[in-house]
Structure 1
Amino acid sequence: MTSEWYASIEAAHPDFRKNWIRHRFNEGHLAKILQAGTTLEARDATFRIVSGLADSRAFSFVATNPNLGSFYLRHQGYRIKLHQSDGSDQFKQDATFIFTPPLAYEVAQEPAGCSLRSYQWPNYFIRHINRELWLGKTDASEQFKWDASFHVRPGLYPT
């Protein structure tokens, strides 16, 4: 669909500005990172966004740390994790997401940003709970809508 690019993904809720999706110990987290730079935190919060492994109309997120090789964000047991691709159809589906308009738009008319919907489970979105990233089934609550809304920004780590 499109060429790859490098980006960092920031929580959309005003109380969580400067909180970024990052991987740590092979799990997805939300971490406060105040500025871009060459720190490990900035690198772990910068992803190479590529055509989806299961569907080229969607997207997959690859870690940019050169020590990791081709490790992708994926969901497993509803938890967002960072794993190396095993090439299976299951992995490809788990590691493929669709950018949608932000769910928070319904709450605060937040026009910018996006939500990240699971490719294989259309009613499930990446969300943060206690700074951990999970795949959650959408509900009508304002809390869920904010927790599942993000801004895609230029990568925090120079590429």
Structure 2
Amino acid sequence: MSTEDQSRTAELRVGGWVPPYRQSATGPSPLPDAFLAAASAAVPQPGRPSGAPGPARRGHRAVIAACAGLAVLAVTGVMAYESGHATRPGPPRFVALPVVPTVPVPPLGPASASPSAGPAGRSLAANALAPGSASASAHSGAPAPSSARPSVSSPPPARPRPTRTRAPERRGPFTVGRAAGLEPAGMTGYRVRHRDFRARVDRIDATSPSLDRADSTFTVRAGLAGTGCVSFESVNYPGFFLRHRDRGVWLDRRDGTSAYAADATFCPQPGMDSGTVLLSSQAHPDRFLSLRRGRLGLGGWPVAFTVRSPL
């Protein structure tokens, strides 16, 4: 092999394929001595395989590859750190406000009081700055206690009106609204009663049956037909009153007519004996309750009655 062929083979071995060498018209430029020495070292020597590089070249390639890999890793890490650091939200930041200094309030001394104020003035000043006083609260900005605030006076409670109890209305010996019994004068143990709705006089006392005692009890009402007179309502037959009709006295139901009201109204008049009473008719003032054969009627000969408590 000629020297020219050996130089071309060395160029192929060092940098890979290169285009064919072309000389310029002026001739090839002289090569530096360092390059020629490296090229001659790269030429395979007799006795070494042509395709196997030397140990020095293999070490150079490994160092170059390691440096390139480290450079790529460094660039990739820097780019990843910058991208992650730019998008990751940072922790919240708090801005500390400046602390406002507390201005001390000077105590109220003797100079603030009037010159003529003595111990009393000093005590008033001390009370004004007491912790619970309204002045101290206003000076410190705290609200005054409830005791220092003006209280709204509530109206006094209304006094209950005194209840006036009406005195029971008296009409002769009768009390309106109360039950009573009629006993004929001089006939002790006998009472006016109703039996089969007919008014009569029978012997009734505390030992008589309860039905007989109820038949002889009447509630005194104000006269149905006039003032100053009374009407007698049965206690065991409410709404039924003693009235006169057909010259007799009967226990009839009230029908609301004026004729019934006049027939059931009797006006008391004092009897000849003390404590006795006569009962005249409202409809016939000249006639009175009379007694004939144990039955009550209306006639010219009155019978006196004594008002008794119910049995």
Q: CA deviation at 1:35?
A: 2.0
Q: Which has the higher helix share?
A: 2
1:89 partner amino acid: S
Matched, 1:44 2:199: no
Q: Which residue in 2 is equivalent to 1:91?
A: 260
Which deviations, in whole Å up to 9, do the C-alpha atoms of 1:131-158 show, x marking residues without a partner? 1000112xxxxxx35xx101011112xx
- TM-score where L is the length of structure 1: 0.81
Q: Which residue in 2 is equivalent to 1:57?
A: 228
1:63 partner amino acid: S
Which deviations, in whole Å up to 9, do the C-alpha atoms of 1:4-50 show, x marking residues without a partner? 111000010x2x21111101101100010122776111101000000
Which deviations, in whole Å up to 9, do the C-alpha atoms of 1:102-142 show, x marking residues without a partner? 1xx1xxxx2111011111111111111111000112xxxxx
Q: Percent identity?
A: 29
Larger C-alpha radius of gyration, 1 or 2? 2
Q: Does structure 1 conserve the Cα–Cα contact (< 8 Å) formed by 2:205 and 2:213? A: no
- TM-score where L is the length of structure 2: 0.43
Q: Which residue in 1 is equivalent to 2:288?
A: 125
CA distance in 1 between counterparts of 2:298 and 2:207 reads 27
2:216 partner amino acid: A
Total equivalences in the alignment: 138
* Structure with bigger RCO (C-alpha 8 Å, 6+ apart): 1
**Which of 182, 204, 214 is the aligned partner of 1:33?**
204
CA distance in 1 between counterparts of 2:207 and 2:266 reads 25
SS at match of 1:56: coil
SS at match of 2:227: coil
Unaligned runs of 5+ in 1: 138-143
Q: Which has the higher strand share?
A: 1
SS at match of 2:256: coil
CA distance in 2 between counterparts of 1:135 and 1:51 reads 20
Cα 1:133–1:113 change in 2 (3 A) is same
Runs of 4+ aligned structure 1 residues displaced above 6 Å come to: none
CA distance in 2 between counterparts of 1:116 and 1:126 reads 6
CA distance in 1 between counterparts of 2:209 and 2:177 reads 21
Which deviations, in whole Å up to 9, do the C-alpha atoms of 1:80-102 show, x marking residues without a partner? 00000000000000000011111
Q: Which residue in 1 is equivalent to 2:42?
A: none
Cα 1:18–1:93 change in 2 (3 A) is same
Unaligned runs of 5+ in 2: 1-167, 170-175
Alignment root-mean-square deviation, CA: 1.6
CA distance in 1 between counterparts of 2:209 and 2:190 reads 17
